[in-house]
Chain A
Amino acid sequence: MPMIDIDHVSKFYGDFQVLDDCTTTVDKGEVVVVCGPSGSGKSTLIKTVNALEPIQKGDIRVDGVHVNDPKTKLPKLRARVGMVFQHFELFPHLTVRQNLSLAQVKVLGRRQKEADDRGIRYLERVGLAEHKDKFPGQLSGGQQQRVAIARALSMDPVCMLFDEPTSALDPEMINEVLDVMVQLAKDGMTMMVVTHEMGFANKVANRVIFMDSGRIVEDASKADFFGKPRSERAQQFLAKILHH
Chain B
Amino acid sequence: MFGNFDWDVIRRSLPYLFRDGMTFTVTLTVLAMSGGLMLGTILAMMRLSSVAILSRLAGAYVNLMRSVPLLLVIFWFYFLVPYIGGYLFHQLYLLNPNGIGKVLVDAFGYQVEAGRPIQVGAFASSLITFTIFEAAYYCEIMRAGIQSISRGQMYAGYALGLNYWQTMGRIVLPQAFRNMIPVLLTQTIILFQDTSLVYVLSITDFLGAASKIAQRDGRLVEMYLFAAFVYFVISFSGSLLVKRLQVKLAVIR
Q: Give residues in A with beta carbon < 8 Å to B.
A: 47, 50, 52, 74-83, 85, 87, 89-93, 102-103, 106-108, 137, 151-152, 155
Contacts and interface: CB of A to CB of B under 8 A. Distances in A.
A81 B175 contact: no
B158 interface: yes
B161 A75 contact: yes
Given A82-B159, A85-B155, A155-B160, 16 more contacts: A50-B158, A52-B159, A74-B158, A75-B158, A75-B162, A81-B159, A87-B150, A89-B152, A91-B171, A92-B253, A93-B174, A93-B175, A102-B160, A102-B162, A103-B160, A152-B160
B166 interface: yes
A92 B166 contact: no
A212 to B, nearest CB: 25
Give the 5 A-B residue pairs with the shortest CB-CB distance, closest first.
Answer: A79-B161, A89-B156, A103-B160, A107-B161, A83-B159
Helix, strand, loop or mixed for chain A's interface? mixed
Contacts of B34: none
A239 B150 CA distance: 35
B27 interface: no
Contacts, number: 67
Contacts of B150: 87, 89
Interface residues of B, number: 19
Helix, strand, loop or mixed for chain B's interface? helix
B152 A107 contact: no
A85 B156 CA distance: 8
Given A93-B175, A106-B170, A52 B160 contact: no
B153 interface: yes
A103 B171 CA distance: 11
A30 B4 CA distance: 93
Interface string B130-172: 0000000000000000000010110111111111001000110
A108 to B, nearest CB: 8
Given A89-B152, A89-B153, A89-B156, A103 B174 contact: no
7 contacts: A52-B158, A77-B161, A79-B160, A82-B159, A85-B152, A89-B155, A102-B162
B56 interface: no
A9 to B, nearest CB: 19
Contacts of B152: 85, 87, 89
B178 interface: yes
A137 B253 contact: yes
A90 B160 CA distance: 11
Contact of A151 (B160, B170, B178): B160
Nearest to B153: A89
A106 B129 CA distance: 38
Interface string B217-253: 0000000000000000000000000000000000001
Contacts of B160: 78-79, 102-103, 107, 151-152, 155
